[in-house]
């Protein structure tokens, strides 16, 4: 069973709908017991970093979430759900993230381009790929859908699994061990996004 964590933000039901379309056993929940039983977790997120962290903190689920991740439960972060996996963000100074990935979320350095970055951009998938490969079966330069003003700058660049170009090379996805995350929205990325979610379900 895949638990989509409901903390009052994110495209919860778009993610749920995509997973159901792929035949997954999925539940949108903020129930700790359900999350404790889940085989895999998805952490969505839309809006400001600080608001997402405050909402997640208010649920009381952070200790459970960190415990499940620490015990090897696969986790997929989406959009701000990627960002809050890091230590903090320039968007919300002084608000700590979950700290699963060392590093910071920085403003997109896209001089002369409109920010937020909204729309379809191609992925440059990095090699070697992680053992849990979200991008299996995708063709080179597959396009996915982004809506964001900030991106991840990990302390260890080796965790970056895909980048995209928007005035500069910006982080599109990260992965380490059982935790993976995408800055783009797979649930809004048509057939490519469905393949990414299918890979998460099956791996």
| Spatial separation of the C-alpha atoms in residues 115 and 149, rounded to whole Å | 6
DSSP letter, residue 195: H
What residue ranges in the chain does DSSP mark as E strands? 2-5, 26-29, 40-43, 75-78, 88-89, 103-107, 117-122, 124-125, 143-148, 150-154, 160-165, 169-176, 179-182
**Domain that includes residue 116, residue range:** 2-202
**Domain CATH for 15:** 3.40.50.880
* 66 pLDDT tier (thresholds 50, 70, 90): very high
Q: What is the mean pLDDT of the chain?
A: 93
- Provide the token pair at 39: 């085989």
- Whether 185 is a known active-site residue: answer yes
What was the pLDDT predicted at 129?
54
- Whether 187 is a known active-site residue: answer yes
* 141 pLDDT tier (thresholds 50, 70, 90): confident
Catalytic residue among 79, 91, 117, 151: 79
What was the pLDDT predicted at 51?
95
- Whether 148 is a known active-site residue: answer no
| Spatial separation of the C-alpha atoms in residues 112 and 62, rounded to whole Å | 38
Whether the per-residue pLDDT at 185 is higher than 90: the answer is yes
Catalytic residue among 73, 117, 151, 187: 187
The number of distinct structural domains making up the chain is: 1
pTM of the model: 0.95
110 and 99 in contact (C-beta within 8 Å)? Answer: no
Share of the chain above pLDDT 90, in %: 83
């Amino acid at each position: 069973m895949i638990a989509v964590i409901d903390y009052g933000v994110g495209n919860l039901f778009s993610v749920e709908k995509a997973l159901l379309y792929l035949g997954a056993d999925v539940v949108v929940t903020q129930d700790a017991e359900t999350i404790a039983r889940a085989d895999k977790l998805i952490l969505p997120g839309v809006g400001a970093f600080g608001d997402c962290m405050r909402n997640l903190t208010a649920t009381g689920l952070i200790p459970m979430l960190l415990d499940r991740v620490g015990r090897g439960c696969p986790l997929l972060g989406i959009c701000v759900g990627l960002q809050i996996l890091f230590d903090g963000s320039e968007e919300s100074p002084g608000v700590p993230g979950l700290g699963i990935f060392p590093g910071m979320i920085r403003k997109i350095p896209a001089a002369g381009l409109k920010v937020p970055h909204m729309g379809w951009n191609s992925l440059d998938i990095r090699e070697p790929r992680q053992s849990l490969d979200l991008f299996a079966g995708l063709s080179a330069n597959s396009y996915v859908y982004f809506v964001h003003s900030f991106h991840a700058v990990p302390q260890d660049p080796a965790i970056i699994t895909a980048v995209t170009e928007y005035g500069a090379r910006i982080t599109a996805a990260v992965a380490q061990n059982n935790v993976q995350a995408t800055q783009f929205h797979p649930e809004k990325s048509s057939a490519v996004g469905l393949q990414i979610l299918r890979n998460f379900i099956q791996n």
